[in-house]
Chain A
Amino acid sequence: MSKLDTVIHAPNRLQICAALSTSAELEFKFLKEQLDVSDSVLSKHLKTLEEAGYISINKRSDFARPRSWIALTSLGRKAFAGHVAALKDIVSGLE
């Protein structure tokens, strides 16, 4: 049975992982607008996820301006899938 992941479960981090799970990479500014949070709040959550090894942040220069691209690592995808499975188990009354 899957277990809840406390790193992912915080509301903003849950939404970050959900958005990243549906895409290959998202840019920092785009993610910030999707979540409707400030730069500092997003940076804090991204740092937590990066320290857990769930996301990778690549700074690249696109169209002559620096941009940070964020992607779920394979460990992050696995952890997110496990977290979603755990939530579904709870809802279906298995826990």
Chain B
Amino acid sequence: MMDKDQHIDAQAAKAALKDIESSQQNLQKAMRLPVWLSVFSSLSYGLIVFSWGMTEHENLWALGLYIGLGLFLASAALAMYSSKLMGLKANLIPKNKSGLLFYLVSVVAFGLLVLGGRTLRLEGFASAPHIAAFLSAALMFYFQYWHPAGEMQRIGADDE
């Protein structure tokens, strides 16, 4: 309960925090993309990483890079369009600490996979682009499915 001096007891504070959590979880669930769109988007991202890892002057993998990029951008545009129809717009730029941390983790993880796949292949590890593409696609799907709002807190984390 809140008294005249705007103090509440620990139980009421706990209940309020739970309400906040519940509201944010419901919103994250509403933001989650359809599975087919997440799979499509993740595979097209995997194609970008793989093609980048395999591209040389004497092969045509650069074409795969452009096709993957086109498909990935198309899936992102479709996701934004369907969200707008529903009446919600996700944060594209992080606006709190959790979002900023998630953004940094994503940039580092995807950056390492993109650069690692190509660099290791040039060093002689021929399967590196395959592994990097698989891990990138899996990570992209994981992030889209469990962190659709682009924040560290994942859906359902409180239920476990």
Give chain A's interface residues, CB within 8 Å of chain B: 3-4, 6, 9, 11, 14-15, 18-19, 21-31, 34, 62-63, 67, 69, 77, 81, 84, 87-88, 90-91, 93, 95
Contact = CB atoms under 8 A, between A and B. Distances in A.
B149 A22 contact: yes
B104 interface: no
B19 A11 contact: yes
Given A6-B6, A24-B91, A63-B85, 14 more contacts: A6-B2, A9-B2, A9-B16, A23-B89, A23-B90, A23-B91, A24-B89, A24-B90, A26-B89, A27-B87, A34-B26, A34-B30, A62-B84, A84-B20
A41 B59 CA distance: 63
Interface stretch (B7-15, B66-74, B110-118, B127-135): B7-15
B86 A30 contact: yes
Interface in B64-123: 84-92, 95-96
Nearest to A63: B85
Interface residues of B, number: 33
B10 A18 contact: no
A27 B30 CA distance: 13
Given A23-B88, A24-B91, A24-B92, A18 B24 contact: yes
The residue in B7, B14, B16, B86 that gathers the most chain A C-beta atoms within 10 A of its C-beta is: B16
B28 interface: yes
Contacts of B91: 22-24
A29 B84 CA distance: 12
B49 interface: no
Given A22-B24, A23-B89, A27-B87, A3 B6 contact: yes
B6 A29 contact: no
A4 B88 contact: no
Contacts of B20: 14-15, 18, 84, 87
The residue in A63, A91, A93 that gathers the most chain B C-beta atoms within 10 A of its C-beta is: A91
Nearest to B21: A18
Q: Kindly list the 10 A-B residue pairs having the minimum CB-CB distance in the complex, ordered from nearest.
A: A27-B87, A30-B87, A90-B13, A18-B23, A18-B20, A25-B89, A15-B23, A24-B89, A87-B13, A24-B91
